[in-house]
A and B are shown apart, each in its own frame.
Chain A
Amino acid sequence: MTVAPSASTRPRVRSPSGGRRRDRVWRVGVFLACALPLLTLAAWTVTGDLGVNPIETIVRHLGDWALRLLVLTLALTPLRHLTGSTRWVRHRRMVGLWAFAYAVLHVSAYAVLDVGLHGPTLIDDLTKRPYIMVGMGALLTLIPLAVTSTQGMVRRLGGRAWRRLHRLVYLAGILAATHYLMMVKADITDPMVYIFLLVVLLGARVTRWLTGRPV
């Protein structure tokens, strides 16, 4: 990994063990923060606060968080460049895997709860409904990234190939946001916010690449 040249001015005199402990605290914190939307959903189920159309609430909530965490994952590297601190990137894998988890739950909730595993509807949706096909494309794109997310896979692929493969996350983000945009009836505000963020984040990467700085 190349670290941004803009050196942080913050003193980094910290005992190795203390740093590791702080790291672990951060890790647990990020894990819990990412789990929170899922816990919220569980709480709503128990308290009966899923609203009048609970299945819609569940499917939308899971999809929203898959997309939000995906965008957050993409924001961590530019944040490193911006702040000069590597601490963001340390959590990138976890946030990315949570995004994948929400995407899997989103699709499962759609297939099991919404469609009731009704074969003809599923086949129809997957072959005739462009917004569902695009959404499925996003999930399929994320699968190889989740599979190769382990330290061992990074070693096996080699850093260069691994990084190239993981650029697919931008494609996944664009497909996911497009899936959302294609689904809404008239009010495109929310999906456009995600698309705007993705364009900015991708733009930041491209700019860096064009100016010859290592990505």
Chain B
Amino acid sequence: MLIRFRDPTAPRPSEITPEATWHDRRRFLAGGAGLALAGLMGAAPRAAGAASPDAFAPLPPARPSALSTAEDPNSFKQITTYNNFYEFGTGKDDPAHAAKALVTDPWTVRVDGACAKPGTLDAGTLTTRSDLEERIYRLRCVEAWSMVVPWVGIPLSTVLSRFEPTGDARYVAFETLHDPRQMPGQRSRVLDWPYREGLRLDEALHPLTILAVGLYGRVMPNQNGAPVRLVVPWKYGFKSIKSIVRITFTPDEPPTSWNQSAAHEYGFYANVNPTVDHPRWSQARERRIGEWGRRDTLMFNGYAEQVASLYAGMDLRKRF
């Protein structure tokens, strides 16, 4: 088995895509030709940040994906020291310290609700799968900053299909671990714990939506939502729930934490949208972490081509 170490001089996966994988990609290409081309061109190699991913166990080799962006990923240090993970404190640098003690092995995710075969997912098994993919995605926080993260994971649809959701399953609800002993932030009632998120079923099954088990080719650092988290790149970051312990198929729109906390500020959909401002600040521009100026925020975080059709006919000002 070839274990890939990320060396600054080594070519990026997008530059060494094997032909077989390339063909495999074609089914994703509906409307994504430009993106794929950009992916092939690649970007200049770039050293990871000062903090090294070496302390984390390597994952099996992950296939590159046509859905990855060609933009330079943020450094490992940036991605792992600037986190919104209120279970470990409300400061951006809190999770990097406070999440160290979280025990992520063993870890099971209960899958239940409107499905024919409810059961469990073993997080450890997810990290040894041979069909892991690298997805280099933009991440846009509702606070108007953004990053590019090289996630490793599997499409959520691949994982969910074996539980056979029934016709009643119109939404998917997610829940984070609730354990104030391990998650000190849960001792204060900043949010109504446990953290809850939800997606419409078609959003959950969209090829862009993944369950991530790592980043930079390594297992997920605790502060980024170990051992398994959701990544929905066209929505504000808070939708991408971390450290998941339960997934439930539901007939109705499930309650979600930030919406419960401030419904007029955080909607259920929370699609990245530069034309709909947060009541307190503008969403038109964002600061990419590592850059000094601000750049324009893109509709659906630049994934409009893939996801805009999901919201055809919907008033995005009302259903923000």
Contacts and interface: CB of A to CB of B under 8 A. Distances in A.
Interface stretch (A50-58, A73-81, A196-204): A50-58
B190 interface: yes
B292 A113 contact: yes
B90 A186 contact: yes
Interface in B81-96: 81-82, 86, 90, 92-93
B187 interface: no
Contacts of A130: 280
Contacts of A185: 90, 143
Interface string B292-318: 111000000000000000000000000
A113 B294 CA distance: 10
A186 B86 contact: yes
A49 B199 CA distance: 38
B52 interface: no
Contacts of A114: 287
Nearest to A130: B280
A53 B92 contact: yes
Interface in A115-140: 115-116, 118, 121, 124-125, 128-131
A135 to B, nearest CB: 12
A201 B17 CA distance: 66
B282 interface: yes
B282 A186 contact: no
Contacts, number: 55
A137 to B, nearest CB: 16
A52 B77 CA distance: 8
B190 A55 contact: no
Nearest to B294: A116
A189 B189 CA distance: 11
B261 interface: yes
Q: Is the interface on chain B under 10, 10 to 19, 20 to 34, or 35 or more residues?
A: 20 to 34
A51 to B, nearest CB: 7
B282 A55 contact: no
A38 interface: no
A189 B282 CA distance: 25
B289 A118 contact: no
Nearest to A189: B188
Contacts of A51: 81-82, 92-93
Contacts of A129: 280-282
B82 A52 contact: yes
A124 B77 CA distance: 34
B78 interface: yes
The dominant DSSP class at the B interface is: loop
Interface in B277-295: 277, 280-282, 284-285, 287, 289-290, 292-294
Given A51-B93, A53-B82, A118-B294, A182 B280 contact: yes
B280 A53 contact: no
Nearest to B81: A52
B191 interface: yes
Contact of B280 (A113, A116, A131): A131
Contact of A53 (B145, B262, B284): B145
A128 to B, nearest CB: 8
A125 B68 CA distance: 34
A168 interface: no
A195 B262 CA distance: 22
A129 B277 CA distance: 10
Nearest to B50: A48
Interface in A100-158: 113-116, 118, 121, 124-125, 128-131
A145 B78 CA distance: 42
A131 B281 CA distance: 9
B294 to A, nearest CB: 6
Nearest to A183: B280
Nearest to A57: B92
Interface string A172-210: 000000000011011101000000000000000000000
B43 to A, nearest CB: 21
Contacts of A187: 86, 90, 188, 190
A39 B191 CA distance: 36
9 contacts: A51-B81, A52-B77, A52-B289, A53-B82, A53-B289, A55-B287, A118-B294, A125-B282, A186-B190
Interface of A: 51-53, 55-56, 113-116, 118, 121, 124-125, 128-131, 182-183, 185-187, 189
Interface of B: 77-78, 81-82, 86, 90, 92-93, 143, 145, 188, 190-191, 261-262, 277, 280-282, 284-285, 287, 289-290, 292-294
The 9 closest A-B pairs by CB, nearest first: A52-B82, A187-B90, A186-B190, A52-B78, A187-B190, A116-B293, A52-B81, A52-B289, A124-B282
Given A53-B145, A121-B282, 16 more contacts: A51-B81, A51-B93, A53-B287, A53-B289, A55-B287, A116-B292, A116-B294, A118-B285, A118-B294, A121-B284, A183-B280, A185-B90, A186-B90, A186-B190, A187-B86, A189-B188
